[in-house]
Amino acid sequence: MLNHILSILIFFPALAAMLGFIIHKDSIRAYGVAIAAIEFALSLWLWFSFDSSASGMQFMENLPLVPAFGINYILGVDGISLFIIILASFFTMIGIASLTDTKNEKNMIVTLLFLQMTMAGVFAALDGIVFYIFWELSLVPMLYIIGAWGGPLRIYASVKFFLYTFTGSLVMLVGMLFMAYFYYQATGAWSFAILDWYRLILPESFQLWLFAAFFIGFAIKVPMFPFHTWLPYAHGQAPTIGSVILAAILLKMGTYAFIRFSLPMFPDASVFFMFPIAVLAIIMVIYTAMVAYAQEDVKQVVAYSSVSHMGIIILGTFALNVEGITGSIFLMIAHGVVSGALFLLVGVIYDRRHTKMMSEFGGLAHVMPRYATIFGLMLMASVGMPLTINFVGEFLSLLGFYKQSHILTLLAGTAIIVGAIYMLAAYKKMFFGEVTNEKNKNLPDVSKRELLALIPLSIITIWLGIYPKPILAPINNSVESIVQLMHDKSITNEAKTRIPNLVKGAEIAKTSEQGAH
Amino acid sequence: MFEAIAFYLFAFLTTVMFFITVTTTQALHALTALAAGMIFISAFFFILGADFLGAIQIVVYSGAVMALYAFGMMFFDTTRDVKEKNGNKFIVFGLSIIAAVLIVVIFAAPMVSTNIVALHPMIEGAGNTQELGMVLFTKYLVPFEVAAVMLLVAMVAGIVLAGKKMDLSLTLMNDAEIIDAKKEQHKKVL
Amino acid sequence: MELYLYLALFSPLAGSLFAGLFGASPRTKIAGVVPSLLLLLSFVSSTVLLIYILSGGEKVHVEMMTWMATGDLYIPFGFIVDQVSVTMMMVVTLVSTVVHFYSIGYMDHDKGFNRFFSYLSAFVFSMMILVMSDNFAGLFIGWEGVGLCSWLLIGFWYHKESATWAANEAFIMNRIADLGMLIGIFLVYWNTGSLQYDQVFATVGSLDKEVLTWMGIFLFIGAMGKSAQFPLHTWLADAMEGPTPVSALIHAATMVTAGVYLVVRANPLYDLIPNVGLFIASLGAFVALFAASMALVNRDMKRIIAYSTLSQLGYMFVAAGLGAYWVALFHLMAHAFFKALLFLGAGNVMHAMHNELDPFKMGGLRKVMKGTFIMMTLASVALAGIYPFAGFFSKDLILEVGFVENHYIIYTVLLFTAGLTAFYSFRLVALIFHGEERYKLFGIHPHEAYKFMLVAMSPLLLLAIIAGSFKMTYFEMVTAVLPATEYHVHSAIAYWIMTIGTQLFVILAIAFAYKKYANNKVKVPDGTSKMENNLCYKTLSNQYYIPYIYEEYLVKPYRELSSVFWKQVDMKVVDATVDGIAGIIYAGGEKTRVMQSGNLSTMLKWMVAGTIGLLSFAVVFGLAVRYSGEIKIILSGLGV
Amino acid sequence: MIEPVNVSLASLNLMTLAPMLIPIVGALLILVIDIFKVGLDKTLYVSISLLFLLMDFSALLGSAGVFTQDGIMMGVFNVMLIDGLAILSQFIIVGASMLFIPLALTHKRFHEFSYPEFFALFLFMIAGFQFMVATDNLILVFVGLETSSLALYTLVAMHNRDKSFEAAVKYFTMGALAAGFFSFGAMIFYALTGSVEISQIAAVLAANKYVDIAYVLVGVVFMLASFGFKLSLVPFHTWAPDVYEGASASMAGFMSIVPKIAAFVVAMRLFEFLIHSGVVWLEIVLYSFVILTMTAANIWALVQTDVKRMLAYSSVSHAGFVMAAILIGTTQSNSALFLYWILFSFTNLGSFSMLWISRQKHLPLHQMSDHSYDKFAGMVQTSPVAASIMGLFMLSLAGVPPFALFWGKLYLISSAVTGGYTILAFIMALNSAIAGYYYLKLIVYMFMKEPVMGNDGHVYVSNATIALKSIIGFAAIGTIFAFVALNPLLELITAFVYNSGY
Amino acid sequence: MEIGLNHYLVLSTLLFAIGLIGVMRRKNLLLLFFATEILLNSVNIAFAAISHYYGDLTGQLFVFFVIAIAASEVAVGLGLLIVWHKRHGNIDLDHMSTMRG
């Protein structure tokens, strides 16, 4: 079973979702929670069976799909993808558990389970096309979630979300086809296997173009400035659960893909584009933080804050050293937890008041002290308070990028200032002051069910902030192998100097050889 | 010389006839001009030694097709003046003239291609019809048969479309109405 | 000893969590008492450690566990108790124990009693981490932790707009500095490959001067924020919105001195870059004067004390910047005692006056608040630096340092500031406790604070009086890790002239203050007097218009720019571009769909037109190919 | 005198004719039955048609078997040409027809199915298409084309509504013009080479090194115009939306697949050798056609309010997409064409069948047309399964993986990449994105809008029978699990195309 | 004044152009069908001429088939017109634009 655990992780929720159609609507939530819990347990099992000291892919599966065209169903996890998979199943679980009364609950839960399939698939796929399949497929449930359960602009938002991402990923697909073609030219056989692609050393000009093609797909997903405008709409209109999963997992697909594809495949291009991308990332950090500050809707604040944080993740990724990349991966998880929690929190108040405008609130700390406390905790995590999960990631990301550019890091570092500004301002507007709005006087504090979702997140937030090692170590191992691979593959002098040499080459070669067969 | 005179004469006549066909407002004139043009075309066939074609041109076109059109014209009662609203004449004539000029520009120049081998050369001493028959029933047997199918299709199609069947919509009628209609039809046939 | 270390470190955390358990429940004494007792435990442990260190024990260095490790980076949770940190631990635990006990009384009637103790203990925990950490990252944890607690505590009365505003201001301003700190840490890491103090300081010597300078600057920027040095000073005065015990603990005794602690801790670094040190000293001197001047005219009791704190921090930086680290640390300690005392006294007054802060509305309180009166007066004396109180030893030492190091301008400034300090301190005392009982005009019935609060304050009083006598013991202890420079004016005569001169100057200033404010003629100012309309007075009372400038030229533009970014740039440019592309495509469809008019004739025309289009292209192409030879000749004839 | 001709039966290779003869026999049988007994139920005729198509299919399997062994077959005086293209396209033609003919078994009565002639014409039409693809003789192409076209016009008209007549007349008239273009084009090639056989034309032109390039181009123009009409390339596409709208949904679906694959094969035979001999002009023109057709049709599809019309434009766009394969002209691209079209058949079969089962006889007042978007609003609430299936087909059409059409797109774009048409590849990708919008629009209506008043959901399946449902189920399964069959399919197609010399 | 193949081709082209004029100009469907006949006929001339000049019979065969096709088209076309006429009483294509866009 362990040999196929990834396939089970991917397809178990999908099969369960199919079965879900026949389950009576009164029992569907229990069913959903049970399935998601099993899925989560499976993902934990994956973690426990995972050899943290190894750097290569584990639990690999390889089934021919269209061998004539080099498409194979290849799965595998390493330290980079492992935790995002776990995070995904975790969020699906608490997302379903904390669902508040929604119409068509059954459809929602079935959709969420499908979404879980695609999320697990994206992060476990080691074949370009299989990756692409899940990547695109993940849009569909999200489209439905936003479009069917969203706010007044839901259709616009969902269609925008879908088309924008879809467009970007089609460009990426062309890039993948080129990659496969180059592989074909080099070896005489088609292959879409990522580990095969790792072995290709492309001329720099090719790298630049391909990097650009992949970049568009990923950048829109992340979303990077100036491709980010779908995100506020999507978040603004999505129901709570949609925002949570969107922010926590779906956005990570883009940054994950940068690390999985762009960096190891195009090391020279990565170095070439490092500064332009860093500049974009800094714009993301500062500009979107300012935009967040100007928002009137608390959910939009969190939405824009996501963009801002994604900027740091990008920056860490393009630090191109172990510290930065490890940090960015950790920050992906951290941001997943924190922004997921923040969206859940926004959902809590939205359920009570059916508005998200900050001007409607004020003084909530009086009426909902527990809520205010948890919100405060997440806020502090969001602004990167040490000993919370976010800090580790942000610190490492910035630390890593500092090696590449001092000035840009200084600019990016303003994240901790501007982040504090909009977050504190929002918190002040909502929680501080006197309760002025009559409607807020008798709001109930967070319920047990809501706590069920929020408390684990709070615990994770602090636990991983204090003791990130269990996650950091496996990530570190895998990142080291990627960095080494990049160093070995790079052809320009600039890249050779920018990407550190860790002298662990032999091990990497072995891994990619395993992957090829 | 005779050939040249004949060519130009018939070329002139055909052109004029066809021009009348497409421009006149009198449907009857158009029909007549078309028929005349067809007959003049058959002249070319004779000139070019395609006697069989000349014959069937007259028979099929001037005979059958024209008869059909004439019937149609009567049916549609288009013997009157045809009122046609035409917007931009320039588009119509302009486009056509451009087309003509363009092609003529090319066709005016002789072809320089060589290597043309007659696949089915004219056979010395055989009549055109015989020659044609020879090729038609060997090489072109299949197209010939398919053409037969095509004619069958056309026939069936013509019958289906023009026949009584399409007058009623069985889609929109209910069962009782259909039975009534059938009885009605039956009576008429009897 | 490790046990004591952990006890000292974690008992505040335990206290905080314990009080936090009662966070949502109604006020209960136990939520205050238990943390206080736990803090007492922490204090006792610290004392044990102090005695251990004093008795010549080795540094206690523990590594609890790994925090972050990736690549070459390795950051543990490591703690060190050496001479410097034990000093800080003593100060922190002592003052906070006092403040805790005091708060049990002070916060007695507050709804958020439990919450308060939770925050307060959390603060102490953070502060302990800050001072005990053995690496920069740990320092940063504490650094941010105290910032967080400061935010929580300033904004403790979150229903007050001003309080929450001040809290946010403090947090954000500190964050600006923290960025500098962070960059400094990055610099340290990438240049030395480690963040452990011992490893870092072992390698700084071999580094490039320029790198070291930058390191020093960035770390000091961090210190500037925490210690509220110009231009990041405005938050400190505003932070007085918090409960008074908080001001005493955080904004006088402990947190604000963290900057000084950082510079002291990083002394091997700063020793190598005297230019930066001089800058620090100059800035310190400037702030000392600058803050004192604002205190002169202020009409808010707590703000006056806050400016005084600021001013004293300036003194400390002067010492630290000039390399007299032990002096800075000594003044830090002494200052903590008397300033905390002053604040707590002010808290008593506030309680008595029903949160009235304007000393002009008080007067004559010595009759009803004898204990407080005595304590505050003595604390002010200590602050003014009158022999033999603690301030004399520490502050005069700094003046001497300035003098000995030949920085006469700094010396002069500090001397002058000492006079100002005495003046505003006693202006405050005089206004509060002497003269007419102006409060009666406002119908207030003051009363003395609980006995046990006064008792709780008494250790501070004691220390404020006698701390100076520990000078030599202290010197011997800390110089084990800090540069052991003794500062003595070369000639004994000069020394005496200076000392006595200073004392006289200060006493004169006190006398002047008393003369002006301790009489019955003092009126509640109504903004009409000549003095109040004086430009100088206005500038000072408006804090040199700096808050105004910040508001007008930083905050507002930021807010407006944000709004522009959102409404103009994001919505109208970035998003509109995306929507515009979609819109153009869609409009293209709407516009061109007329092509499909449904009219057969049009359709046929399109078909013919398409063919003609192709034909034209074909003919052009065909002719070009056919006559390519000729075309080439013509073109070459044209000289193309 | 004419010598008598001796022909041995074996040399005729009559087996090459077998697949085409079977439907003709079937059609004749239907006509004969009708003579003897009037008013038989449509199920009989459907079964007969299916039976003969099945036989046809088996015959094709036989041909395929022979082809894999012996390679290209010529038959009946070398008029018939059975190569990989012919076999593959006939598989598609016959296979798709087999799937479409049961759509006659509707729950409601429709005029055309009451007449056996419908089925006879249908079978004749299939035969016509088969002839068209199984030869490289332009005469037979022409005759086959006309046979099928004439039958098709009639089939469209037999739906017996004003709109369907209008559609048929439009289709017919434009078809007549296209026929004129075809004959003119053929004439030019004949004038150039003295032959009407494509292989011969190619040989002669090559021998002459294309000296008369201007002539060639004019010939190509007219051929392009003629096939542009059949393949609905912009600006020759104008019939498509109207005819699709006028015809019944089942017939529209059929038209979107079968006639086009026949035309594609002929176009491939005709243009491929020209492209390979370096006629730059043709490359430019085809390039523009491809881009124009894809993009313009997409843009027009965006603004449609009727689903069927939208699907019509979408089919036009897909045709443009596939035309790229001919432009690229590599073995991979030609294989991609067939792969794409097979997968497209499944998807389009499904989507048009879904429209077909929701066909009402009378238009409700609030509805502008038969299949306006409004009609599908909130469909998920009343018939979730149907909505999901329809959504599935839309996603497949949009190219969302892993549904059928994605693989077609993937392989086709890949062939563009491989063939060196980078820009084209990106344009194709971007066009897929534009297309996403209008497919999504239907999904939005079905899943995210509230139903129109008075729509109880019955309408969506009002026309459904077991037969139709099975067809839809089949199409859905084919669409979802396309990837299972992909590898053998791809290998087969590639082998067939490669062995035919394309 | 030898009449060559090109003469016939040009003639054929001219007639074809006239046919195009008719196709585009005519609104009466019946008369439009006349124009399509002209198109086919013009091509027939060219085929016959090519056949003549090349001494090859294929062209004539093509003509033969074109004539057959033309005849079939007339049958179907007229059939369609009749149905339309029965329903609408006209065969003017301007009345035939219910579908658009």
Q: 3-state SS string over A112-147?
A: HHHHHHHHHHHHHECEHHHHHHHHHHCHHHHHHHHH
Q: Answer whether residue D277 is part of any domain.
A: yes
Q: Which two tokens stand for residue A261?
A: 């594809």
Q: How far is CA A129 from CA A134, A136, A220, C459, D154, in A?
A: 9, 10, 19, 74, 45
Question: For A134, how many CA atoms within 13 A lie in the half-sphere containing its CB?
Answer: 28
pLDDT score, position D385: 87
Domains: count for chain B: 2
Which phi and psi (to 5°) does residue C66 adopt? -75, 140
Residue with tokens 């099993």: A38
Between CA C345 and CA C378 the distance in angstroms is 11
Residue D132 pLDDT class (50, 70, 90 cuts): very high
Q: Which two tokens stand for residue C533?
A: 């309309």
Residues of chain D in contact with residue E79, where contact means CB-CB under 8 angstroms, are 154
pLDDT at C463 over 90: no
Q: Is A297 helix (H, G, I), strand (E, B) or coil?
A: strand
Q: D380-431: per-residue pLDDT in tens? A: 888 888 899 999 999 999 999 889 999 999 999 999 999 999 999 999 999 9
ipTM of predicted assembly, 2 dp: 0.91
C612 vs B99, B105, B106: nearest CB: B99
Residue with tokens 């002459």: D208
Which whole number is the average pLDDT over C194-217?
89
A102 vs A45, higher pLDDT: A45
pLDDT at A516 over 50: no
Low-confidence ranges of chain E (pLDDT < 70): 1
The answer to whether residues A78 and A1 touch, using CB atoms and an 8 Å cutoff, is no
Residues of chain D in contact with residue C625, where contact means CB-CB under 8 angstroms, are 213-214
Q: Peptide bond before A223: cis, by omega within 30 degrees of 0?
A: yes
Nearest to C10 by CA among C56, C79, C60: C79
Between CA D83 and CA D457 the distance in angstroms is 48
- Rounded to the nearest angstrom, the minimum Cα separation between C617 and chain B is 10
* Interchain contact E22–B (C-beta under 8 A): yes
pLDDT at C194 over 60: yes
Residues 462-481 on D with a CB inside 8 Å of B are: none
Chains E, C in contact, 3 or more Cβ pairs below 8 Å: yes
Contact D195 E58 (CB under 8 A): yes
Contact B99 C609 (CB under 8 A): no
Best probe of the C interface among A53, A225, A229, A396, by most C CBs < 10 A, is A229
* Interchain contact D190–B (C-beta under 8 A): no
Residues of chain D in contact with residue A147, where contact means CB-CB under 8 angstroms, are 444, 447-448
Which structural domain, as residue segments, surrounds residue D252? 12-359+368-499
Contact C598 E97 (CB under 8 A): yes
* Interchain contact E88–B (C-beta under 8 A): no
pLDDT at D29 over 90: yes
- Give the CA angle between residues B33, B37, B39 to the nearest 5°: 120
Lowest mean pLDDT among B100-104, C227-231, D301-305, E83-87: B100-104
Contact A159 D437 (CB under 8 A): yes
User: Looking at chain E, which subunits does it touch, using at least 3 CB pairs closer than 8 Å as the criterion?
Assistant: B, C, D
Which structural domain, as residue segments, surrounds residue B160? 140-190
Domain boundaries, chain E: 9-91
Strand ranges (E), D142-290: none
* Interchain contact B91–C (C-beta under 8 A): yes
B102 vs C608, C609, C619: nearest CB: C619
pLDDT at C622 over 80: no
pLDDT score, position B188: 61
Q: D79-101: per-residue pLDDT in tens? A: 899 999 999 999 999 999 999 99
Q: A207-233: per-residue pLDDT in tens? A: 999 999 999 999 999 889 889 989 999
Q: Answer whether residue B72 is part of any domain.
A: yes
Residues of chain C in contact with residue E96, where contact means CB-CB under 8 angstroms, are 599-600
Burial class (CB in 10 A: 0-12, 13-18, 19+), E4: exposed
Q: Answer whether residue B106 is part of any domain.
A: no
Torsion of CA C28, C30, C33, C35, to 10 degrees: -100
pLDDT score, position B126: 66
The answer to whether residues B59 and B42 touch, using CB atoms and an 8 Å cutoff, is no
| E-chain residue closest to C601, CA distance | E24
C514 vs D9, higher pLDDT: C514
Contact D150 E76 (CB under 8 A): yes
Between CA D209 and CA A65 the distance in angstroms is 45
Q: Which two tokens stand for residue A259?
A: 């690390």
pLDDT score, position A506: 47
Q: In percent, how much of chain C has pLDDT > 70?
A: 100
Between CA C454 and CA C456 the distance in angstroms is 5
| CATH number where B50 lies | 1.20.120.1200
Which phi and psi (to 5°) does residue D465 adopt? -130, 175
Q: Answer whether residue D328 is part of any domain.
A: yes
Q: Which residues of B touch D (CB under 8 A)?
A: 102-103, 106, 109, 111-119, 123, 125-126, 130-131, 134, 138-143, 146-147, 149-150, 152-154, 156-157, 159-161, 165-166, 169-172
Instruction: Give the end-to-end CA distance of chain A in Å, rounded to a whole number.
Output: 21
Contact E11 B53 (CB under 8 A): no
Which whole number is the average pLDDT over B74-86?
70
Which amino acid, residue A122?
Answer: V
Q: Answer whether residue D403 is part of any domain.
A: yes
The answer to whether residues D9 and D70 touch, using CB atoms and an 8 Å cutoff, is no
Domain boundaries, chain A: 300-467
Question: For C38, how many CA atoms within 13 A lie in the half-sphere containing its CB?
Answer: 26
Q: Answer whether residue D5 is part of any domain.
A: no
pLDDT score, position A460: 92
* Cβ-based contacts under 8 A for chains C and E: 29
Residues 56-85 on C with a CB inside 8 Å of A are: 65-73
Average pLDDT over all residues of chain A: 90
Q: A166-196: per-residue pLDDT in tens? A: 999 999 999 999 999 999 999 999 999 999 9
CATH topology of domain E9-91: Helix Hairpins (1.10.287)
Contact D176 E59 (CB under 8 A): no
Q: C33-76: per-residue pLDDT in tens? A: 899 999 999 999 999 999 898 888 788 888 888 888 888 888 99
Residue D152, number of CB atoms within 10 A of its CB: 29
Lowest mean pLDDT among A401-415, B101-115, D143-157: B101-115
Domains: count for chain D: 1
Which whole number is the average pLDDT over D276-292?
88
Q: How far is CA C640 from CA C66, C626, C632, C636, in A?
A: 76, 20, 9, 6
Q: In percent, how much of chain D has pLDDT > 70?
A: 99
Q: D223-243: per-residue pLDDT in tens? A: 999 999 999 998 899 999 999
Q: Answer whether residue B38 is part of any domain.
A: yes
Burial class (CB in 10 A: 0-12, 13-18, 19+), A505: middle
E20 vs B34, B96, B119: nearest CB: B96
E99 vs D153, D177, D242: nearest CB: D242
pLDDT score, position A282: 93
Average pLDDT over all residues of chain C: 87
Which whole number is the average pLDDT over A446-461?
89
Residue A240: its H or E element = helix A240-245
Q: D316-361: per-residue pLDDT in tens? A: 999 999 999 999 989 999 999 999 999 999 999 999 999 998 888 7
pLDDT at B185 over 80: no
* Interchain contact D38–B (C-beta under 8 A): no
pLDDT score, position A517: 44
Chains E, A in contact, 3 or more Cβ pairs below 8 Å: no
pLDDT score, position D1: 55
Q: B139-174: per-residue pLDDT in tens? A: 888 999 999 999 999 999 998 888 777 777 777 777
Between CA D92 and CA D342 the distance in angstroms is 7
pLDDT score, position B114: 63
Average pLDDT over all residues of chain D: 89
User: pTM, whole model, 2 decimals?
Assistant: 0.92
